[in-house]
A and B are shown apart, each in its own frame.
Chain A
Amino acid sequence: MARESAAPPATTAAEGSQPLGGAGEPGRRSWLVGGSRAIASWLGVVPFFAYASLFLLIPTGEIVVQAFRTPSGRFTLSNVAGLADPQALSAFEATIKVSLVTAVLGGLFGLFVAQAALRDGGAAWIRPVMVTFAGVASNFAGIPLAFAFIATLGSTGVVTQLLSRLGLHLYAHGFTIYGLFGLSITYMYFQFPLMVLIIAPALEGIRKEWREASVNCGATTRQYWRLVGLPILLPSLLGAMVLLFGNAFSAYATPYALSSGYINLVPVMIGEAVNGDLASNPQLGASLAFGMIVVIAVTVALYAVLQRRTARWLR
């Protein structure tokens, strides 16, 4: 969920952590002999761990430390307590709301699109086109996306004016692209293609035989989906939506560009605490970041659990 893009984490249903056999056994694939071999093995991954520590683990640790530290360096819970402030609370509430709505709606929309593209008897050209479109969406996400939706649904936007000419005056009715609703519509742009990419392997994992067997037993299409298809798909569906939630929750560039800071979301608030108007309060930023990490860690754990259920029968 590091960006509001459509590039997937691409965990397939068949993935597991089975170690490949044999490496490390005496006599196999050793370029050194004796005891130094074991040390040499571990040396090979040192660069990676060093790098990850320096640029990922330690900065993360820094966040956690800062979240519990006063400016003078003593341990405190007051920063984290500050998360209960009305401003912070409303930020969390707004961010969760937008993320939830776009995760569910984007998830459903993405599911229908993916199913439409991947069904049996569908044309072969649909899949590469779909992947390309997903690439388009991922490419545009971030700053350009905000501009695109301002151009579309802003007060002088193309669609706004088109609807005006048809008699529907959006802004007169109180709609604005710069509010939570407008933000949700914007988020959908990258949420549903992400869903398409994530759910595609699960849809393809639905065996043709299940559909045919249910038809043979006398089921209609609706009965098939209700009794067979959806139950099979449910863990993957929920897992994907969880991922979408995290993706939306982490978005910074798009809401920042869209609202110039007027919409109060958690990522935007963090940005302000570091660099912006919020009286440069790094402790607040750190505790907000900490809160964010907790929220997303929970969603990733949920995703992992749901994935494991899927792997069992989409093998």
Chain B
Amino acid sequence: MASLEIQKLRKRFGAVAAVESLDLCVGSGELVSLLGPSGCGKTTVLRILAGFERPDHGDVRLDGKRINDVPANRRNMGMVFQAYSLFPTMTARQNVEFGLRVRGVAKRVRGDKATEVLSLVRLQDHADRYPHQLSGGQQQRVALARALAFEPQVLLLDEPLSALDAKVRVEVRQEIRAIQSRLGITTVYVTHDQEEAFSISDQVAIMAAGQVQQIGTPAEIYRAPCNLFVAEFIGTVNRLEGTVADQDNVAAGPNGTKVKIPGHGWPTGAAVAVLIRPEAVKINTDTHNGALGHGLTGQITTHMFLGAITRVAIDTSLGPLMADVPSEQALMLALDSPVGVQIEPGGTRLMAP
């Protein structure tokens, strides 16, 4: 399987810079997601990889070899589009065989291979159906089979699940990941859905304004976002403005309440953004002040039931905070009741504002 390397990629459309000096490495057999909001350039990067766009500057290398000048129909990369890409006049089987057919593969060999990949996506019984007879999820699975049929070196997916229902999305993404890791095929996956990217990727590259903000494993990015954009893009976070009081404390929020973050490493007096993950905000109905460290109090304003977790909004002296609480505990928290609040230092992070 091949490794992919992008160096100093740049692409402008008229006056707009879609991609700006981008570097990216995808190791052999890895699934790397390009994650970012609309307009961040992720789809452009993918299309440059596929050969549908030419970069203004920079190189694309496959296994070390520069492929900028290789036309799109010779790159041997399978691509799954967002929607509507199955050929409507052909059955699922004929769609899947297409890549082999244009390569001149013999009929019997094509047929066997098509059956093989259709079984991989568990649609061998639907092989003779036409696209309009298949559901959205089924169509995307056929599209995946078609992309894999000619055994490409790289698999490219452009928001393949965006057009699907939420439940189907979860099923299909797991299927994609299972097939990808079973075949060990180098994959680049574009999405704007953070949960999707995090659940299936080996590495995630967060993009904004045409550049990679951070690249790392999902856990790394979640725990240690390198800048404010990434921190706020990934998951939910409480953000406070503050000033460093001393080497263990930061005065944060409108009232300058002290938050204990031992050994944070920032110089005293520095202006910082304090980021606190909701799961690091602990609620204590035992309103004994000073029981465990911080001695913050607050009043519950709203509950948002999210299933296993309930997101609780609390008014504290630090300002309004969101806390993620196991729903069973949340049941016992009455609105407007005073509670004790503790911030776990492990779930906080200081950043340049």
Contact = CB atoms under 8 A, between A and B. Distances in A.
Query: A contacts B directly in the complex (CB < 8 Å)?
Result: yes
Contacts of B89: 228, 231-232, 313
A215 B72 contact: yes
A85 interface: no
Given A217-B150, A218-B102, A219-B102, A228 B87 contact: yes
Chain A interface mostly helix, strand, loop or mixed? helix
Interface string A203-215: 0000101101111
A228 B103 CA distance: 15
B285 interface: no
B271 interface: no
Interface residues of A, number: 21
B85 A210 contact: yes
B79 interface: yes
A18 interface: no
B88 A213 contact: no
A220 to B, nearest CB: 6
A84 interface: no
B222 interface: no
A216 B79 contact: yes
A212 B88 contact: no
B78 interface: yes
Contact of B74 (A218, A231, A232, A315): A218
B11 interface: no
Contacts of A223: 102
Nearest to B97: A217
A223 B51 CA distance: 18
B99 interface: yes
B81 A212 contact: yes
A278 interface: no
A217 B94 CA distance: 13
B50 A214 contact: no
Interface in B97-140: 98-99, 101-103, 131-132
B305 to A, nearest CB: 35
Contacts of A215: 51-52, 72-73
Contact of A218 (B85, B86, B88, B103): B103
A312 interface: yes
Contacts of B147: 216-217
Nearest to A226: B102
Interface centre among A217, A231, A313 (most CB of B within 10 A): A217
Interface in A188-246: 207, 209-210, 212-220, 223, 227-228, 231-232
Contacts of B234: none
B146 interface: yes
A213 B87 contact: yes
Contacts of B143: 213
Contacts of A213: 79, 81, 85-87, 143, 146
Given A212-B52, A213-B81, A218 B132 contact: no
Nearest to B83: A209
B229 interface: no
Given A218-B74, A313-B132, A232 B102 contact: no
A220 B81 contact: no
A307 to B, nearest CB: 16
B237 interface: no
Given A209-B83, A210-B85, A232-B88, A217 B102 contact: yes
B35 interface: no
Contacts of B73: 215-220
A214 B83 CA distance: 14
Contacts of A313: 88-89, 131-132
Contacts of A212: 50, 52, 72, 79, 81, 85
A227 B81 contact: no
Contacts of B52: 212, 215
A171 to B, nearest CB: 48
Interface string B45-86: 000001110000000000000000000111011110111111
A210 B87 contact: yes
A5 to B, nearest CB: 33
A227 B101 contact: yes
A292 B46 CA distance: 57
A216 B78 contact: yes
B190 to A, nearest CB: 14
Contacts of A214: 87, 98, 102
A217 B146 contact: yes
Nearest to A230: B89
A212 B78 CA distance: 11
Interface centre among A207, A209, A313, A315 (most CB of B within 10 A): A209
6 contacts: A209-B85, A210-B88, A213-B85, A214-B87, A216-B72, A232-B88
Interface of B: 50-52, 72-74, 76-79, 81-89, 98-99, 101-103, 131-132, 143, 146-147, 150
Pairs of residues from A and B, 10 with the lowest C-beta to C-beta distance, nearest first: A313-B88, A217-B99, A209-B85, A231-B89, A213-B85, A219-B102, A216-B79, A215-B73, A209-B81, A215-B72
Given A209-B81, A215-B73, A219-B102, 6 more contacts: A209-B82, A214-B98, A214-B102, A216-B73, A217-B147, A219-B73
